Structure formats: C-alpha cells, structure tokens
Structure 1
Amino acid sequence: MRRFSFIAFIFFASLGVGLAAEVVDKIIAEVNGVPITYQEVAAPLAGRLAVLSDTMEKEEYEKEAARLIRNALEDKIKDMLFLHEAKRRLSEEEVSVTEVEVEKIVEEAIARAGSRENLQSELRSAGTTLNKETERLKNQALVMRFLHKTLTPRIRIAPKEVLEYYNAHIDEFQEREAVKIRQILIKFSEYEDREDARKVAEDLLKRLEEKADFANLARRYSRGPYAEKGGEWEFLERGNLLAEVDEWAFNLPLGGVSNIIETEIGFSIIKVEGRKYARTIPFDEVEARIRLHLWQQKFYQEMDKYYQELRKEASIVIRLK
C-alpha cells in the first residue's frame, strides 16, 4: 500500500497552497487574538498520522487525517480558553502552590532518570524539551486546579442517584469464586525423564506431610512464576490455571495441600491460602466508588458546558477549511 507522508498530508488537507514549510507555519485559527499554527495542532499527531498513512488508501487517509486535525484544533482552543481563565481568576497563592507542585513532579522525574541531563536527553529523543514539558505540566495543573475550584460547587449527587446506579448496574458488582494458592512446580524440562522429576515431587510432598514450610520449599525447589514469593499467586478465578491445577485449587479446603498434580509442563503441588466465594458486593462496600464515578461523569459534563459558555464569549476565528 502506498505511504502518504506527514508532509504530504499538509497538501491534502486543503489548508492553502505554496511551500510545505509555509503551510506548516500557517495560522489556522485565532483565539482572542492569539494565533494557532498548523504545526502546533498537527505535530502531536505526527506519529498517529504516519501509522494511518501506512494502513489507508489516499482518500480514506485524507478524510481521517482532516478529522483528527479538526478535533485537535478544537481541543487546542479549549485548552487556551481554560488556561486564560485559570491565569485570570486563580490567586497568586494558588498559582504559586501549583508551580511548587509541578517543580516537585519534575524533580521526581529527574531522580528517576538519574540526572537532569539524562531526562533532557530522553525528552529530546521524544521531540520535546524539559522546559516545554515543565510549562505544559504547569499549564495543565493550573487548568485542573481552576476547573475543580469552579465546577465542584455545581455538582450535586443525591443518595438516591447512587443507589439507583447500583441497582441498575448490579451486574458490575458481582464477585466470582476465587482462590489464592501457593505452588511448587517441578518442570519436566529440567530432568532427564519424568520419573526423576516425580521422585523430587514425591520427596517434597513427603516433607510437606511432615509439616515442612510450603513457602520455603517453593523458594528453593519450585520453577513456577512466583517461586521467589514462596510460590504465592494472587487470587484467581476459575479458568486461569492449567485445568488439572484448577480442579484441585477449587476443591481443596482452605489450608489444604494437593497430591502431586501432573500437567503438560511438570508436576505441581499446591496449597490453598485463601478463598473468596461468589457473591453480590453489598451496596455499602461500593457506595463511595459509585459516588466517585458519578462525580467524575458530572464533572466532565460540567466542563463541556463551561467550555461552551467560554466559547460563546470568546473571539474565535477559524481558518481551517
């Protein structure tokens, strides 16, 4: 399939005529007199556009790329309006606190990278700089602080709404039966024949019957995925283990130890460490989670409404066709 490059798209997107560089720098919108260039909007999409150009025919690619550019432009306008309001209406103290929080995040990123130079190098490889990313984080943090301050008073969640959501989505609050096991796995691949592997498994089972510590034996002898953790798995529902192991796991009592279980990869011995029975999670256990979910839904709804309010009041000129 023919590849359509990112630069080629510039011509296809009907943004004007002339040299590609001129189109990249072309002003495609103005928000309260502040220009937005094509490059500002399109650059973050370069990777995605490159993938699309490899997988789509020319006409389909042009249409999808144009849609992405228009959506990205709308997001850019939204960001600019929110940031303008945040800088205008947040107090100096709120701005200062936000900047300190961002500086802390940047310092943590530097520490993870090993040095400021390492982080700067990583960011350059990604096509950006530390200063640009710091400024971007600061602006995002200012906007979120402002939106939370402005929109939270608009949000009300009645107890009735929370209960109605629970009843309407009861399927979301079902827990299936699950078990937590420890496992000792003796792999066939590490022995000349299966009988040698079986002898090791039989010896370990005998030690367990004599009250040896399962976790210690697992750390020493198991070749399972969690041997270093004493063979301990997280809680698993039916069907997540090999069928032979699964059958034992869901039929042993709590604290029970299996016989030697032969599977396609080796011999296993398991111990049931925990069990959860199938149940409907009671409302009081998920009430806070539901309330948070509803709050987030309403927050984003209010954010969209607020954006439309700001958009009506702003001077916006869009030249993208």
Structure 2
Amino acid sequence: MKVAFIFSLAFVLSGQAARSEPRLLNAVVARVNDAVITYRDVYNRVLQDLDFLERQYRTQPEVFQQKRDELIQKNIELLVEEQLILHEFKTAGYKLPESYIDEEVDKNIRTTYQDRATLTKSLQAQGLTYEAYRTQLRERFIIGAMWRHNVPRDPLISPHKITLYWAQNRDKFKVEDEVKLRMIVVTNRPNGSLSSAKNLSREMLAKIKDGAPFDEMARIYSQGSQSNEGGDWNWVQRSVLRPDLAQIAFSLKPGQVSDVIESPDGSCYLMKVEGARLAHIKPLPDVRDEIEAVLKDEEFKRLRKKWIQRLKEKSYVVIYPIS
C-alpha cells in the first residue's frame, strides 16, 4: 500500500498533474490529531529538490524514481513530525508572544527584503497573504524552540563511551603504511622539446645533491598542485599515488631523494621522503574529537527519534494509502 501511495503522490506532484488537476493538491495525505497534511503541503516542500533530482538523473529514470520516492516519503514524515510538535506546544499550554513574530518579520525585512513593500510584492508573487506568512514564521519559530528545548543539539558524551567506541571499532582507525612526501612535477610543455622536462629535472636533482633545499626547488620549478607548499604532500598512503610513483616512494628511506622519474607523457618527477611509518591503529588521543563528534550525532538522532516516538504514542496519526 505504501508503494501505491508513493506512486500516486508522485503523479500528483508532477508539474503536469498539478496544473491540470489543481483540486488533487487539496487531497489529504495524512492526519495528525486535528491537523491535515495535503498533497499541496508535500508539493511545496519537495518541489525544488524534485527539480534538482530530475536534472541530475535525467538519463537514469529508474534511479530518479527511487530518489523521488525517498524524497517524498522523507518529507511526509517531516511534515508529520512538525504537526506533532505544534500539537505538543498547543496542548502543553505554551504561548508565543506576537512580539516575537514581529521581531522575526523585521529581521527578515532587514536581511532579505530591505523594506516592507518588497516583502509584500514577494508574498503576492508566492500567492501568500501577510497573515499566512506570519503563520509560517510562527510555526517555524515554535518548531525550532521545541526541538532545542526537548532534544539537546550538543549532548554530553562520557570519556568512557569514547574509549569504548575506539576499542570496539579499531578497524575504522586503521592506517596503511605511509610516507611523508615532497614531490616536484615538471610537465613537458606543448612547445618544448621532449627532453626539456628531463633536462630541467636533472639540473634540479644535481642542485639538490649539492645542498639546495628540495622545498625551494619545488616552489621555483614545480608545476604540481603543491608547488606553493614546497611540494609537500604531507603523509600519504600507497593508494593515493600512481602505482609507479608509489613503488618508488615507498622504497625510499627518510631523507632520500629519488632519481628523475619519467612519465610516458613526457612529464618528470622528483620525490623526497621525509618520514615513514608502518600500518597502525590511530591512537585514541588522535581520534578522540572525531569519535566524540560521531557519538554526539548518534545520541542526538537517538534522542530525536525517542521524543518523536513519545509524541506519536499520545497522538492520532494516519497516513492514507491511496491506490
């Protein structure tokens, strides 16, 4: 039934259906307590993203249909959540002073519209009345405030949980063999001779062997993406480099500089390894912040889901299957 519903809704949300059958946009998709969610609500919510998906997957109709259905389903769920939150605000007896909405209107005028006349014209173009606009702002303000009040965006994570996550997910923190690499790249310019890149590279190598700093040579002569940083690639794993370059880089010892490496396209490379380290598990201090961010996100999602589920349990919610 859910699939039939999604395809029905997808038809209504198509531009052609919306124009030829505007009455369908008023059909009810879901009820949440005494509020209804219509096709129009979903249409307004997904229209921009739907256009983007259609352009992105123009030549992949099956992928587009899948992405479209996921987008529709996700936004129906979000609309249901919003109505649950608005109902909770109302039944809890909370009040939102009109002065808050006045401030929001004034802020939007300052940041977006510049003056009230421009705001009025924009609302008319969207088919919105001023009161409908204020209602949108009011609901948006309430929903944001209720989320912040009931679901902390920055939940506390204990050090024990961070340590436990690191111990139980060591594979996620595996690092391959790495070398700290600098590289000079000399491309064979279209108008240059085939030997020009090789000759320049040989001259640089001779200067480096005589004591010229590798990083200075890179800044002056390299045409690679890291030339401004003295050819510094920092720590790299074997998989980052071309196989032929990786083989040479990982055969060098720290402090060693390669011979001139010729590429089939006429480009030449010089590499210097400044350090090497074997495959290892990143130590906890190096990944503590990363783990904490992951756990905070997981905890936020858990608390969010728990609160919405609690609201659903004391509410009347139905999404209509339409064939």
TM-score range, shorter chain: 0.5 to 0.7
CA root-mean-square deviation: 4.9
**Structure 1: which amino acid aligns with 2:200?**
V
Residue in structure 1 matched with residue 309 of structure 2 by the alignment: 308
CA contact (8 A) 2:182 2:273 kept: yes
What TM-score, normalized to structure 2? 0.67
Q: Displacement, 1:236?
A: 1.5
| Aligned 1:103-114 pairs, distance under 5 A | none
Match runs of 1:55-204 below 5 Å: 55-56=61-62, 69-82=72-85, 85=88, 143=143, 146-152=146-152, 161-190=161-190, 192-204=192-204
Aligned-partner SS, 2:233: coil
> Would you say the 8 A contact 2:198–2:262 is kept in 1?
no
Structure 1 residues 152, 90: closer, same or farther in 2, change over 3 A? farther
Q: Hey, what does 2:11 align to over in structure 1?
A: 9
Deviations 1:216-265 (A, max 9, x none): 33233222222233322243200322333223322323333222112223
Match in the other structure for 2:284: 283
- Residues matched between the structures, number: 288
1:235 is paired with a residue of what secondary structure?
A: strand
- Identify the residue that residue 217 of structure 2 maps to in structure 1: 217
Distance across 2 between alignment mates of 1:139 and 1:273: 58
SS in 1 for 2:294: helix
Offset, 1:299 = 2.5
Shift of 1:92: 7.5
Relative to structure 1, is the Cα distance of residues 68 and 295 closer, same or farther in structure 2, using a 3 angstrom cutoff?
closer
**1:244-298 alpha-carbon deviations (Å, 9 max, x no partner):** 3223322323333222112223211122244443222233443454344233323
Relative to structure 1, the CA distance from residue 56 to residue 151 in structure 2 (aligned partners, 3 Å threshold; closer, same or farther) is closer
SS of the residue 1:236 aligns to: strand
The 1:49–1:139 alpha-carbon spacing in structure 2 relative to 1, beyond 3 Å, is farther
Cα distance in 2 for residues equivalent to 1:275 and 1:138: 58
CA drift of 1:139 comes to: 6.9
Structure 2: 5+ residue stretches without partners: 1-6
Letter matched to residue 82 of structure 2: D
Q: Which one-letter code corresponds to 1:175 in the other structure? A: V
| 1:147-171 Cα shifts (integer Å, max 9, x gaps) | 3542449x78665544443332221
Equivalent residue for 2:38?
37
| Uncovered stretches (5+) of structure 1, i.e. residues with no partner | none
Identity %: 23
Change (3 A) 1:150 1:175: same
Decide whether aligned partners of structure 1 residues 217 and 238 sit closer, same or farther in structure 2, where only a CA change above 3 A counts.
same
TM-score, with length taken from structure 1: 0.67
Determine if contact 1:244/1:262 at 8 Å carries over to the other structure: no
Amino acid at match of 1:225: S
Paired residue type of 1:279? H
Return closer, same or farther for 1:229/1:158 CA change in 2, 3 Å cut-off: closer
CA deviation after TM superposition for structure 1 residue 24, in Å? 2.0
CA distance in 1, matches of 2:13, 2:192: 66
1:64/1:225 Cα in 2 relative to 1: closer, same or farther (>3 Å)?
Answer: closer
